[in-house]
Each structure stands twice: as structure tokens, then as C-alpha cells.
Amino acid sequence: MIKKQNKTILIAIDIGNTSMSVGIFLGRRFVKKTRIPTVSKEQKIYTRLSRLLKPYICCDIKVIISSVVPCVTKNVKHIFTDKFKLRPIIVGKHVKAPIKNLYKTPAQVGQDRLVNAFACKQIYGSPAIIIDFGTATTFDYVNKRGEYEGGIITPGVEITINSLAENTALLPKIKLKKPQNLIGKDTSDSIRSGVLNGLACMCDGLIEKIKKDRKSSPIVVATGGLARVFCHYSKHINKVDQDLTLKGLYLIFSKKSTLPLDI
């Protein structure tokens, strides 16, 4: 029989439409992160998680999950309960993000957006705009009272690239990288410039509109896989935190437990 150590390991999982981010918090430290494609079969997810958890199998392991893909949530939960004999905490079901939600229909807000809003309020303060560069690009606003007011949803980078390729006869599907020029000299570079510069201008324009509409000067925090790319094209992004959702899950778990906070 393996003797458990006293160290608490928190496995934080954010299941998005394209990929799931898995972070490991060892006591006070964020020690490891990986991404698993959301479309992966259950056995592949189990294999990846097994490798990730192997060094910590003797520790006291806790699991918290936020998700916008219910069928994958079910599979991941089954893996932890059946294979690892662990009972994960599901945000939205077992625990709520501790932030006042002013959405007209609160249940319509994705759990990841509420987790981000809570994390941003705790780490960076408010008022704040959180931009998440994921499958969709979302803008969420936290007012000066620390309340989640709502947001804006636009097509994300991958949706834009795929849509151009799938709905036109001659435009190729491109790999996203820095365009050589603002005015593209070939089709691929023209698309790259349009996607990066176009979405960055949209971001800056929406940030300016939100500031004017709310009559505030919020901090602007970017997260998601492409946040570091877009921060070089946007003039209004103040902070980049690609692990904001995972940190938010840590913070939520910390509020309902005695796990120390140091992120």
C-alpha cells in the first residue's frame, strides 16, 4: 500500500472547445502545465493524465474542473472517479465562482469566463476587461465594485482562419505567424496580416468603446493561447496572463479549503 504524503496537489483543469489546459499546483507553487486536445478519446486523455500525475501519486491529490464542453466533462470526471479514485470538484455544479454575476440569465455565462473574472479581480483588481483569445475571442467586464457585468463574444482566430478556407474557393488555410508586411505580398501573408492586425484593431476599438460606455479606466488583461501574440499588436492590453483560468481555479479551491495562496 502506498503511503500518502501530507503535501496537497491540486490538479486544475479548464476544458475549452479546442483544448483542455491542465495545471498542477504543488502546495503554493504552480509547477506544471500541459494542453490536451479536447477531441481526444477518453483513453488518450487518461494516458496523458497518468503521465502527468505519476510523480505526485503519493501526495494528497485534489481536482477542480471548469468546462464549456459537457460531454468531455463527463469523460474526464469518469477518468478521475473510475481510474484514479478521485472525486473532482466541478465549477458550476459543486462550487460557484465567488463573483456577483449581473448577466440577465446568469446560467448562460460560460464557467471559464466567470473564473477568469474572479481571478482577474483577485490578482489585478477592478475595474477590468479580460480578453480571452480562445476558440472565440471574449471580452468580459468587471466593474469597480468587483461585479461581473457581462461581455462581448466575437469569432476567434481559428474560427476566422478556418472560415476563410472553408467558405472560399481559392483562399488557403494558413498557419498563423507574423506577416512580413502590413500589406501582404502573397495570399497567405495577406490573410495573416488581416487576422492579426484586423483582430488587434477590433480589440483596441472594443476596449475604447467599453471604456467610454462604462466611463472607467479598467486594467486590460489578456489570456488564452494567443494572448502573447496579440499583445504585440494591441496598444491597450496592459497585462498578459496565459494561466489566468488555472489560477482562478486555484483561487476558488483555496477559498473553500485551507490550501495556502501564493501565485
User: What are phi and psi for residue 176, nearest 5 degrees?
Assistant: -75, 125
SS3 8: strand
User: What are phi and psi for residue 153, nearest 5 degrees?
Assistant: -120, 130
Task: Please give the Cα distance from 116 to 34 (Å, whole number).
Answer: 18
Contact between 66 and 245 under an 8 Å Cβ cutoff? The reply is: yes
Q: What grid cell was written down for 32?
A: 506544471
Give me Rg for the CA atoms of the chain.
Answer: 20
For the question of residue 112 being annotated catalytic, the response is yes
Name the E strands within the chain.
8-15, 19-26, 29-37, 60-67, 89-90, 128-133, 136-142, 148-155, 219-223, 239-240
The per-residue DSSP string of 71-128 comes to HHHHHHHHIIIIIS---PEEBTTTB--SS-B--SSGGGS-HHHHHHHHHHHHHH-SSE
Q: What grid cell was written down for 181?
A: 508586411
Active-site residue identified among 112, 132, 189, 241: 112
User: Residue 48's Cα: distance from chain center in Å?
Assistant: 19
Q: Which residues pair with 95 in a beta bridge?
A: 91
Place of cell 478556407: 165
Active site residues: 112
